[in-house]
Amino acid sequence: MISQITAVMRLELKKSFFSRRGLWIYLLALGPAFLYLIHAIDVVHDHEHRQALLASHPVSGGVLQLIRQGMPLEHVVELLGEPYQKNEFHGRGRRGQDFATYRYTDGENDFTFFFVDGQVANVNEQDRCNLTKDSAIFATVFQFFYLRLAVFFGCVGIFTNLFRGEMLDKSLHFYLLAPMRREILLAGKYLAGLSAAVAIFTVGTALQIAALSWHFEPGQVAAYLHGTGWHDIASYLGVTALACAGYGSIFLAAGLLFRNPILPATIVMLWEGINIFLPAVLKKISVIFYLQALCPVVAAPEADTPVLLKLLISSVEFPPAWLAITGLTAVMAVVLGVAAMRARRLEINYGTE
């Protein structure tokens, strides 16, 4: 039995990794890493620019923090010196007020002071990216976009074609004519698809983390890794692998049960997308619920989410890691059990496909 599963896996892996039709899956997996790399390069260039501005307009970060609303413009210039950029508008507005914006930097953070009639009206501080902020950004992108879109559609492309693709290519009968139980064929195809998906998308996750941390100082990265860093990285890689396993089981079954897997894929995508609004009982009938429970940082809704949508969001306490893995495994077992029963009764009539 093991040798038969291995033989099926070997054949399927060749098709999974070397098929031209699957190149878009690599783009889904690796695309976010390129975006993070562009972000890192932009942050490095921005930091170098701020350092150059500090050299030409030296100012202390401690003094910048002393500026408060109501301070007169002359006092601000006396404390900080001339800004590296300023804009002044005289006699603007309904009341003929004077407006001005002065920008300073301490080499790390950028400060913009807004003046109305010669007094500080507002202070806007743009701090440099840090590991805490970027970790929160990564958690949001990973949970709301990478898992729900990249891994999701990648699994659609990989697993639905394991059976449905061969039916369309009129090659599935070669497997069915072999002296092999249908459950073994199903297991071999699933494990092959899972191996391909895990390899592709875990590499994508690792590259995203590497690209995101590239612009930080080595000391900062080392401190993060010695803290919670290695645990967080292992968690994200594990969650990616489990997402491939969970979504893969669903779409393998969809390829067996439906002639057009796009419809069930759309339904599953909508169900996973509205998971945040579902009651606690219904949340558990999904893959994303267990995946979020295993993430080291649970992404919160966007701050600018409309109030009405915030009211619709249902809060639920996530289960511990062992229970989340058990729940996800149970979902996978049920889905694969249904797929195995369908595989036993599978008959090929290419004329109707």
Architecture of domain 50-126: 2-Layer Sandwich (3.30)
Strand partners, 105: 110
| pLDDT of amino acid 34 | 92
| pLDDT of amino acid 209 | 93
| pLDDT of amino acid 150 | 93
Q: Phi first, then psi: what are they for 179, rounded to 5°?
A: -75, 75
Which helix or strand (DSSP H or E) is residue 101 part of? strand 97-105
**Residue 151: closest CA among 297, 12, 294, 25:** 25
The tokens for 44 are: 């490095």
The tokens for 340 are: 């195995």
Neighbouring residues of 88: CB distance < 8 A, sequence distance ≥ 6: 98, 99, 100
**Residue 242: closest CA among 177, 194, 210:** 194
**Burial zone of 128 (CB within 10 Å; 0-12 exposed, 13-18 middle, 19+ buried):** middle
pLDDT in tens, 137-167: 898 899 889 999 999 999 998 888 887 767 6
CA distances from 188 to 25, 149, 163, 192, 333 (A): 21, 26, 12, 6, 15
- Cα 105 to the chain's mean position, in Å? 32
| pLDDT of amino acid 301 | 57
Instruction: Kindly report whether the global pTM for this prediction surpasses the value 0.85.
Output: no
Cα separation, 296 vs 232, whole angstroms: 6
Strand partners, 172: none
How much is the average pLDDT of 86-115? 84
Strand partners, 85: 103
| pLDDT of amino acid 94 | 63
CA distances from 88 to 81, 91, 95, 152, 343 (A): 16, 10, 16, 51, 74
| pLDDT of amino acid 249 | 92
pLDDT in tens, 41-75: 988 898 889 999 888 888 887 888 888 888 999 99
**Contact, 276 vs 291, CB < 8 A?**
no
The tokens for 306 are: 């409309």
Q: Report helix, strand or coil for 278.
A: coil
Has residue 202 got a pLDDT over 90?
A: yes
Name the pLDDT band for 349 (thresholds 50, 70, 90). low
Cα separation, 48 vs 248, whole angstroms: 45
Q: Where are the domains of the chain?
A: 2-44+130-344, 50-126
The tokens for 189 are: 């195809």
Which helix or strand (DSSP H or E) is residue 183 part of? helix 182-213
Has residue 108 got a pLDDT over 70?
A: yes
pLDDT in tens, 215-258: 888 888 888 888 888 999 999 999 999 999 999 999 998 888 88
Cα separation, 346 vs 289, whole angstroms: 32
Helices (H), 214-229: 218-224
Name the pLDDT band for 331 (thresholds 50, 70, 90). confident
pLDDT in tens, 161-189: 887 767 666 666 666 666 677 788 888 88
Instruction: Kindly report the average pLDDT of the chain as a whole number.
Output: 82
Name the pLDDT band for 320 (thresholds 50, 70, 90). confident
Cα separation, 182 vs 341, whole angstroms: 9
Has residue 303 got a pLDDT over 70?
A: no
CA distances from 139 to 142, 222, 283, 336 (A): 5, 20, 20, 30
Has residue 114 got a pLDDT over 90?
A: yes
